[in-house]
Amino acid sequence: RYISTFRPSVKCEVAKNKAQWKTMGPAKVAVPSPKNFLQKHSKEPKLPARKKEQDSKKLPALSVPRRTDHPVMGIQSKKNFINTNAVAAITGLPKKPQPIYVDRRQGDKYLLETSGLVPKYIKKKDYGVTPKYVTQRNEEMKRAQKEYEAGILEHLKKRAMKRLSDEERRSLLQGLKKNWEEVYREFQGLSVEIDTIPKKIYKEKLELQMKQLEHDIEVIEKHKVIYIANE
């Protein structure tokens, strides 16, 4: 059978340390004295000691006289208060009565100045003066109008008008008259009796074309100078 070579050393270690496991904790414990018993409020936190108030933090002295103070006796004034009050009443300006208003039958009175019925706005320094925001708005409107007009002028410059020459005007007028003659020839070729709807529609169409051509011819003959916009 196998026997470990460390067996005797292990036995010695076990025998040496076996006495330490016989008790829980140290073998001898100091028994508390019966005089050191737990007292009431002994575990509550204690506040630090109160410091004495310094001279700088003392409260100011009160103006009320103390109980031990005695008034000064024997001081008299030679001032005649009756005459002084009479002179002040004679020479003084009378008080102006405050304007009031009554809005109920019970006679409840209120000050008129704070009621909003007095037109105080007339006495203001800026009464009748145009406010700043109105002048700023008018300036902005004028500036926007100028920018709009400048934009229109720029647009018109880009789309400059072209004047028709006399030859172009004459050829245009001849072409319109030629178209009118062709439409008039078609109108003359209509039947005398218009009894169907297509015939009526065609007749109205020819009449409208003739009226438009006559109007265009009249405008060109009336105006010697004609401008055309370049698109």
What is the C-alpha to C-alpha distance for residues 217 and 174, in angstroms, rounded to an integer? Answer: 9
29 token code pair: 């414990």
Strand residues in the chain grouped as ranges (E): 100-102, 109-111, 161-163, 227-229
Per-residue pLDDT at 56: 57
What is the C-alpha to C-alpha distance for residues 97 and 109, in angstroms, rounded to an integer? Answer: 13
What's the whole-number average pLDDT of the chain? 84
What is the C-alpha to C-alpha distance for residues 101 and 116, in angstroms, rounded to an integer? Answer: 11
163 token code pair: 């004047």
Total-model pTM? 0.32
Domain positions in the chain: 162-228
Helix (H) or strand (E) holding 22: none
Q: What residues contact residue 202 under an 8 Å CB cut-off, 6+ apart?
A: 190
User: What is the pLDDT averaged over residues 16-29?
Assistant: 66
pLDDT per residue as tens digits for the range 125-165: 888 888 899 999 999 999 999 999 888 878 777 766 677 78
Residue 231 above 70 pLDDT?
A: no
C-alpha dist (Å) from residue 94 to 37, 89, 91:
88, 9, 9
- Please provide the DSSP assignment of 95-159 as one string: PPPPPEEE-STT--EEESTTTT-S-GGGGSTTTTPPPHHHHHHHHHHHHHHHHHHHHHHHHHHHT
SS3 (DSSP) at 163: strand
Region of 9 (left: φ > 0; alpha: ψ -120 to 50; beta: rest) is alpha
pLDDT per residue as tens digits for the range 23-69: 666 667 778 888 888 889 888 988 888 877 655 566 667 778 888 88
Residue, of 22 and 81, whose pLDDT is higher: 81
Residue, of 8 and 231, whose pLDDT is higher: 8
What is the C-alpha to C-alpha distance for residues 173 and 190, in angstroms, rounded to an integer? Answer: 26
